[in-house]
Amino acid sequence: MAYIGLLHYSCPPVVGGVEEIIHQQALLFHRYRHHVKILAGKGKQFTEIFEVEINPLLDSRHPQISQLQLNPGKNLAALHQYEKEILAYLHTSLHQYDILIAHNVLTMHYNLPLTRAIHRLASSSSIKVISWNHDSPYFYTNYPRRLDDPAWEILKKLNPKITYVVISEARAKEFKSLYHTRKKFIVIPNGIDPYRFFRLDVNTIRLIREERLFESDLLLVQPSRLHPRKNIELSIQVIKAFHDLGIKAKLLLTGVYDPHEKKASYYFRKLKDLSERLGVSEDIIFIAEHVFKSGQKLTPDRVTMRDLYLISDCLFLPSKQEGFGLPLLEAGMIKLPIACSDIPPFRSIAHNNVFYFSLTDSPQQIAQRLAEYLNNLNPHLMYNRVIRNYTWDYIYLKKIQPFLEAL
């Protein structure tokens, strides 16, 4: 695994978009066994997981540098001295490192000596330098006119010793124009960490990873006890029907059963047999019976239940009979789409705000209609797009890892 340095003007607890990106990338690289260090001009050692090195010379608001670069032509000697100091620091700090990822500091106008020092580092060191380009002042018509000074031309020039990454296809076009090049840039988008965003419990995260839940096309959750009137057979048949439609669906069954109660044990075995017979046993996850690869048993609690709601695409309740329907309220609180049987207790709670199906409908009819219903919900489609394409784990495995291996 590689030794990777991540550099920006500042890092957490300083709040900002790029600050959050380098935090998430550092966690990501650490998770995939890289040795990581953050270098920044402002911030703190905000974690015990990896090293954070603060050097005020890297700051975007270093008082002397900020003043000097207002007139770089006049203050060239003083700026050059700062450049030498920064370069010496980078050589020392990164002497055992394989890769330096510089976020925005080669494209923005906040610390000219730092920009020049990194260009020199790339040309004079064995370390591989990546310019991770988010933005440029030249993309905006109201950019500061002092940036027309020849000293700032370095922000518009490609360095053949540096590898460039941009965050979107739109930015790729803008940087091609800025650099006057036809070079094809590597596009790696920003991502999101659903584990941190949702504040998921560690056991939920283990479940997601071991069962590869985020790789499914559709994730249904059924928070029901394992009882015949909960109609779980239909849920399993609907999962099979989704598969027949080419939709990789999974079902999260949260309910427990009493293994000492003969009828409950029989019903559990019946459900397991049905899922195996239909060829969907790997996609029917009995949460209360789940055992991690380590051999540890998952013990679900209210936090687990909340987490499963947060990560699912739809609440699925095919009950034959109910007295009320508390999961409808819980799903409603987090705006989770709901599909349920058309029975009076559910109607009294949800009115016309959910997807209903008749208990006489076939599994194929339910799956087809539910797929159409969900595909007309833009928030659902957006969530699906984000969770399948923009999680940091997905971005790492599909884009960052192949990119690093090809350097």
**Domain holding 83: CATH number?**
3.40.50.2000
Share of the chain above pLDDT 90, in %: 93
Asked if 112 and 167 sit in the same domain, the reply is yes
Share of the chain above pLDDT 70, in %: 99
CA distances from residue 119 to 6, 115, 157, 192, 300 in whole angstroms, order as listed = 15, 7, 10, 30, 53
Asked if 229 and 181 sit in the same domain, the reply is no
- The pLDDT score that the predictor gives to residue 255 is 80
Average pLDDT over all residues of the chain = 95
Asked whether residue 259 carries a pLDDT value surpassing 70, the answer given is no
C-alpha span between 147 and 141 (Å, rounded)? 12
Structural domain for 313, as ranges? 196-389
What phi and psi values does residue 98 have, to the nearest 5 degrees? -90, -35
Does residue 261 come out as left (phi exceeding 0), alpha (psi in the -120 to 50 range) or beta? beta
Asked whether residue 257 carries a pLDDT value surpassing 70, the answer given is no
- The pLDDT score that the predictor gives to residue 144 is 95
Q: Residue holding tokens 């905006």?
A: 140
Residue 48: DSSP 8-state: S
Asked if 168 and 262 sit in the same domain, the reply is no
Asked if 136 and 214 sit in the same domain, the reply is no
Asked if 235 and 379 sit in the same domain, the reply is yes
In this prediction, residues 159-185 reach a mean pLDDT of 96
Asked whether residue 258 carries a pLDDT value surpassing 70, the answer given is no
In this prediction, residues 381-406 reach a mean pLDDT of 96
Q: Which residues contact 33 (CB under 8 A, 6 or more apart)?
A: 1
Tokens representing 256 are 């427990």
Q: Residue holding tokens 């790492």?
A: 396
- The pLDDT score that the predictor gives to residue 147 is 97
**Cβ(105)–Cβ(118) under 8 Å?**
yes
In this prediction, residues 183-196 reach a mean pLDDT of 96
Asked whether residue 261 carries a pLDDT value surpassing 70, the answer given is no
β-pair partners for 255: none
Asked whether residue 382 carries a pLDDT value surpassing 80, the answer given is yes
The pLDDT tens digits for 6-16 are 999 999 999 99
C-alpha span between 42 and 39 (Å, rounded)? 9
- The pLDDT score that the predictor gives to residue 230 is 94
Tokens representing 326 are 């508390």
Pairing state of beta strands 249-253 and 218-222? Answer: parallel
The total number of structural domains that make up the chain:
2
Asked if 58 and 16 sit in the same domain, the reply is yes
Asked if 140 and 262 sit in the same domain, the reply is no
Q: Which residues contact 374 (CB under 8 A, 6 or more apart)?
A: 218, 313, 314, 337, 380, 381
Asked whether residue 183 carries a pLDDT value surpassing 80, the answer given is yes
Asked if 286 and 161 sit in the same domain, the reply is no
The pLDDT tens digits for 97-141 are 999 999 999 999 999 999 999 999 999 878 999 999 999 999 999
Residue 301's CB is within 10 A of a number of other CB atoms, namely 11
Asked if 280 and 329 sit in the same domain, the reply is yes
Asked if 165 and 33 sit in the same domain, the reply is yes
Pairing state of beta strands 99-103 and 51-54? Answer: unpaired
Asked if 152 and 208 sit in the same domain, the reply is no
Asked if 252 and 335 sit in the same domain, the reply is yes
**Cβ(43)–Cβ(54) under 8 Å?**
yes
